[in-house]
Structure 1
C-alpha cells in the first residue's frame, strides 16, 4: 500500500550527511554563526584593549656596544654616575644590570665610589636608562680616569606617599614588553632575586619623574618581603633623594597598602 505524503511543510530535521541543511534551518544557522563570530571578535577586542601599554622601552641596539667612564655607586643597587656629555650639559645616572636576570653587585661592590669603565648595551624608557653590562669591558677600574670628576652629593626631596607598581628595572625599561602587571609578576620576582634593580612606577610624578629606583628606608637593597608586592597597585611612603637625573625612593615597607 502506498503511503500518503504528510500535509504541510516537512519538519526542519538536520541530517549530518546531507549536502546542506534544510531551508527552514539555514536562516537560523546563519544567525547563530554570525552571533558566535561577532562574540569571538568582541572578546578578542576586549582582551587586546585590556593589555597594558607596552610603552617605548627598548634595547638601543642601533647605538651598538657602548663604553662609558664614570663613578660607580653600589648601594642600594649599582648605578653609574656620568659627567655631562658636553659643556653646560647635565650629569646622568644609569642603572646597571648583568646579562639575563642578574645584577652586577659582585662587580660593583669592590669598585664602589671609584671611577670605572663600563661596557654594554643601553636600555631606555622615558627618563630612566639602564646599561646591561657585558662584553669585553664589563665593569673594571678606569684605564683613563676622568680629570676632577666627582658626582654631586644626593639631594633630599623630602618624604612622599606614592601610589603605583613595583617592577624589575630591566624588564620595565625595555627588556620585556610590557614588563608590568600580574602576568609579569613571576618574571619580575626572578629578576629581583637575581639582583636586578627594582623600580617603583608612580601614578604621580615627583620633580618631573614617575620612575624611582627602590630601596628600603635605610637606603639598602629591599628585603624579600617586597616580592609579595610586585605587580600590584599599592601605596608606599618614604624619603626621596635625587642623584643627578635619577630619583631614589627609600620606602618604608611597613606603610605598604594594596589599593
Structure 2
C-alpha cells in the first residue's frame, strides 16, 4: 500500500509536516483580503497578451486593439472559470480519499489542501461573476478515467490529473502575478493562488511519484503504457480547454468555431503547449510515468 511507502520515507513525511505548518503560517481570510472595485477598465489587458490563445498566430495581426483587449477580458474569465471547474473536480476526488485506507499519512495535509482549494474556487468564481457576469461552462469529458482501471491505477490518474491541472494554471498565475500591465486586482488573485499552488505542486509531485512506485509493484507493462497514453491525452485536453469558442464569440470575433480549429492547428501551437508544460513534462518523463 502507498501508506507503507510513505511511512518508510522520512523525507516525504518531513515534507508533509513542513507543508502543513506553512499552510497554517500563511493562512489568510480570502473574504477580507481582496479589494473588488465596482468595475475594471475595458481598455486594458485582463490577461497578459502573450498568454492569450491568438498570440503569435496570424489572426492576431488582423484584430484591432479594442478586439485584442476584449479577447483578453473574455479569455481571463474563461481561465478563472476553468479554475472553478477544475477545483470542484479535484475537491470531489480528494474528499473521497481523505482518511481512507492507503491515504492515512497525507490526510493531515489534505485538510489544508481542501480548505485552500475551496477558497480559491470562491475568489475565482467571484471574479467571473463580478466582471464577466458568467462562469463559462467546462468542456467536460476529458477527465473520465477508463472504467477498467484498477484502484491503484485510478488513484495514480486522479492525482496525476490534479498535478497537471495545478501546473497548467500555475504557469499562467506566476506570469500574471508579475505583469504590471494588469489591474492590481487581477495580479493579486494570481499572486495568492501561485503562493498556495507552490505548496500543492510540491505535495502533488511527491504523492504521484509514490503512487507510481506502488503501482509498479503489481502492474503489467501494458498497464503502465496505458497510463502514459492516458496522461498524454489529458495534457492535450487540458491545454485545449483554454481555446473556448464562446470566448471568441463574446469578444465579437466572427466564426468562433473555425477560429478555434485554426488556432489549434496553427504551427505555433505545439511549441506553446510544450512551453506551458515544460516543467510538468520534465517531471513526468524523469519519473518514467510518461513513456
TM above 0.5, yes or no, is: no
Query: Larger strand proportion, structure 1 or 2?
Result: 1
Q: TM-score if structure 2 supplies the norm length?
A: 0.23
Q: TM-score if structure 1 supplies the norm length?
A: 0.25
User: Which structure is larger by alpha-carbon Rg, 1 or 2?
Assistant: 1
